[in-house]
Structure 1
């Protein structure tokens, strides 16, 4: 099953995988919040999951899919080879993580290996992940920074998260310090580039 919000990417992946005699694409989904329902209906062995999709991101969708259908294996295939995405994807239950510029033969082999119960991780990304380490942000700091992405005021963020304005300011200050940023917009950028959001 292919889960990607870009029809052209899904089509290209389907065409490449259909060239393999032992692989068949049985279903597609374009939104993260559709994946469990489609998988329940079609029962694929492996889902190739993009990270950035509308409705629900691929990492959260992986966690939901693994909870609902634990026998289905997930291979995250993304343009964004960020260390934080790798770590979060594996924690959500993905069996593999590769980037979209992986050669077709290697992608097909990754699908087979994941189906066999093995773990497949892009070696360069695994190295980057080890060097980068875990996100320094707490769960609450991550939540506040996600809310700050849109550029809203402290009051808007506080209202959205049901926190006091002082608490939001404290969390944003902490995030700026931990990311080495000068502004919250820069902190958002740093966190996104590392896959922490």
Structure 2
């Protein structure tokens, strides 16, 4: 029996996934959570074999939650299931230790099969996303440019971003300018949007 944890911030989606997967004779949904920062604790207390994680959740996103699970409970495999099939997300998830990455419109039978394969120690990746990820290449942004663009999404001023990241305003301007150039954005808001759509933030 595969012990499965499901993490998704949308109760309806979480409940539907649990109901579908619980119908499988070899899958037992042992825990459900709605926040990313609850995942590692719930995995440990439920002794889940596989954690099925959404990416966009409050507290901690699914990719960071994956890294936390892999560190806290290395025996638990992680399968990311998301609405957002962005190539950058796939790469970040794999670096965080995910065993699989599929999109939410995957048919129920295929999703159950993905859970089984991940539980066996195999990798499962949406083929279209894998092809896009290879074609796109890695994020052109440095770690600092990524931090600055992510902070810029809040809409704060350069001074606000500098205070948030403990950088000088000049350094923030330089990173923003570089990030705008690398993404081809018209301004910092556009650069942040482009980076977010590619899964680089």
Return the match for 1:135 from 139, 152, 159: 139
Question: C-alpha displacement at 1:40, in angstroms?
Answer: 1.1
Matched ranges for 1:113-132 at <5 A? 113-132=117-136
- Three-state SS of the structure 2 residue aligned to 1:37 is helix
Moved over 2 A (4+): none
Task: State whether structure 2 residue 48 is matched by structure 1 residue 44.
Answer: yes
Task: State whether structure 2 residue 108 is matched by structure 1 residue 112.
Answer: no
Match of 1:182 in 2: 186
- Three-state SS of the structure 2 residue aligned to 1:25 is strand
Return the match for 2:153 from 145, 149, 153: 149
Distance in 1 of aligned mates of 2:66 and 2:135:
25
Coordinate RMSD, CA, aligned: 0.5
Matched ranges for 1:23-34 at <5 A? 23-34=27-38
- Unpaired stretches in structure 1, ≥5 consecutive residues: none
Question: C-alpha displacement at 1:79, in angstroms?
Answer: 0.3
TM-score, normalised via structure 1 length: 0.99
Distance in 2 of aligned mates of 1:106 and 1:56:
27
Distance in 2 of aligned mates of 1:18 and 1:155:
51
Task: State whether structure 2 residue 92 is matched by structure 1 residue 81.
Answer: no
* Higher strand proportion: 2
- Which digits, 9 at most, give the CA deviation of each residue in 1:124-172, with x for residues without a partner? 0000000111000000000001110011000000011110000000000
